[in-house]
Structure 1
Amino acid sequence: MSRTAHQDLHSERGALRGEHPGRSRNPVIKVADLGWLEFEKPDLARAEVFALDFGFSVAARTPDALWLRGTFAGPPCMVIRRGRTSRFIGPVFRAAEPADLDRLARATGTDVREADVPGGGKVVDLLDPSGFPVRVAHCAERLPELPGQRPLLLNFGTDHRRTNTTQRPPREPARIQRLGHVVLETRVFARALGWYLDTLGMIVSDFLYLDGRRDRGPTMAFIRCDLGGVPADHHTLAMHLGPGSGYVHSAYQVTDLDAIAAGGEYLGERGYRRSWGIGRHIQGSQLFDYWRDPDRFMLEHFADGDLFSCDVEPGWAPMSTSGLAQWGPPATRDFLGATPSPAKLREVLHALRGDNELDPARLLGLLKAVNS
């Protein structure tokens, strides 16, 4: 698509001739959404305290697992299983139909098995090229809707929707509505991208590339589900090339900006640490606020994200820190993962010696992007 065609859409630039199309011609299946995320932590009681403060509700609790949910009807958002260390296990995507699991199992040489999700269901276990366990599930039952926060009634200029009453958003947790997306870092970006497009039928909303090195292809992708003419979140999965391999953050939708701000005040009063925010992104347009849980996993409250149908082609933009937000405070080193440490240095050296897509030129390009 030409540059002109992208003006006033979501990116000033489209693909050049011969660049990645951002979708597969014949995917195995097309997943409908992100189902939930799986973690392990040694202290489930501490994890539950943070979860309630952040705005989750408890869907189910056993001695060895904590299932968390939002207020919307559907699957849970997260399961935290008891483990020896705190770690991210992997994402679980939601199949549109039970038959999709059979098709996926045949294509990948795996089996369909029972899912240990509240309400029951079926699941297929896969491994992506980065080494992340990826599961695709179909739930037998949807969790029922819970009472949620109502958006504030706002006055706009001469459009007066609220009279003879005041605004007093309560200082309380920003009630999570649903899981929105997960962001992963990988040393094999191109291979992983191809796998998600070919296997799960996802499509790219936006590509980012290293400034001056567009000819080497993208180094980050914001990827959505292909629901045909039904608009889907701008990104359900985002991935970027880096020296590490693992979880970066996950994002959870809340009602509006006041829920983000009041929920953030509530978290701050309880001693939790904001990583970055409040602001509004460029790719995806979300209002955002990022926090660290007691195990230093990053979680995001967001509202007002973009929705794209299948006919919107990928945008292309250079990768830069300044390009992360339309407004808000400068991105922190904590958010960027740019705080120097011996562990980070070992990670970089391991990546440069390994069989992956990171080389010294790309590493320097990533460092430049972090500081631009």
Structure 2
Amino acid sequence: MTTTAPPEHPPAGSAPGSAAGRLWRAGRAPAAVIGLLVAVSVLLSLGSEQFPSGHLEPGSPEPDGARALVRLLDEDSDLTVARTSEAAVRAVERSGEDTVLVVLLDHRLLPEELDTLAGLGSDTVLVRPSLRSLAAFAPGADMTGRVDDERTLEPGCALPAAASAGDAGVTGELYTAGNGVEALGCYPAADGSGLLQVAAPDGSTTTVLGTGDPLTNRELDSAGNAALALNLLSAEDVVWLRPDVPEEVGSATLWELVPAGVRWSLAPLALTLLLFALWRGRRMGALVPESLPALVRASETTEGRAGLYQSRKARDRAASALRNGFLERSVPKLGLRTDSGPDSVVAAAAARSGEDPQDLWRLLYPSQPDPYTADDEAMLRLADELDRLSGRLR
């Protein structure tokens, strides 16, 4: 005796006409496109590295940034980048005796912050300082001139850092030390020195540079700029203070806080939604005419408008409607144009009907007040006379 295995049935979701199959066939193409665009958006938002920018910004690869010098310093020194005066104070206090503090953009610091930094007693390099910063770090030094050309200057001094570097492009602000100040000027010009080193009673020094151009990526490899920068900042610990711009609390909007990569990734997503809406919103076929739900006879419309005229006692409008209707029907019969004037219409109607022209003037173009709007009987008389005249014009 043989037994026959029952026939295998396909799974529920694999039937050709199943709802799941139809849904998959209809949605797989849009899903693939959306998935591809989402992947591209993620790659766009994560694939590009964002670098800071700004003059003497330690992480900026732009021409006016200082990334090249900072990387050179980081190879031989313990470099710390500070964005606030408090961070710079903590970094100097943690460092050893062989420490150099580089102060940039000191106009962003408050006077009390400058006094605190000057009181640390570490060797300091001021890059194009303000007068307030000069008074705090190098009392007795003053800015006395400026050189604006792009030439290089000779050291002209016995300072080892400058003498070994040779000519450098330190043209910018010039400084001079007052009487009784222990200072050494280098790179002299007509009105002062492009580099001035002032000694403090505690043994620390403050070196003032009239320009930050020799420290930038663009000028670092020119003349002796690199050697001068590395000699001035030669120390075991270097604290690079570039204060950030003070920001008002709550001034940034939500859109400004969103990273630029995320903002750019929204563009392909918006385009995807637009294309999807256009695709799904296409016309599926010709328009289907539909019959009106109800038919209204012309007589009912006329009676309804007449009832409105009667309820408002608008005899003048009703009389005007009667005359306009008569003229629209009769003027073409007289061989006249629809825009013919009253004189032509009255003359042609009188010639065709034999009526007195004066009577026709009173009937078709009455003077004010209109005698045919005095009461309802007058209006009925107007309608009768217009019907009689219409019969004679045939």
Q: TM-score, normalised by structure 1?
A: 0.22
The structure with the largest helix share of the pair is: 2
The structure with the largest strand share of the pair is: 1
Q: TM-score, normalised by structure 2?
A: 0.22
Larger of the two Rg values belongs to structure: 2
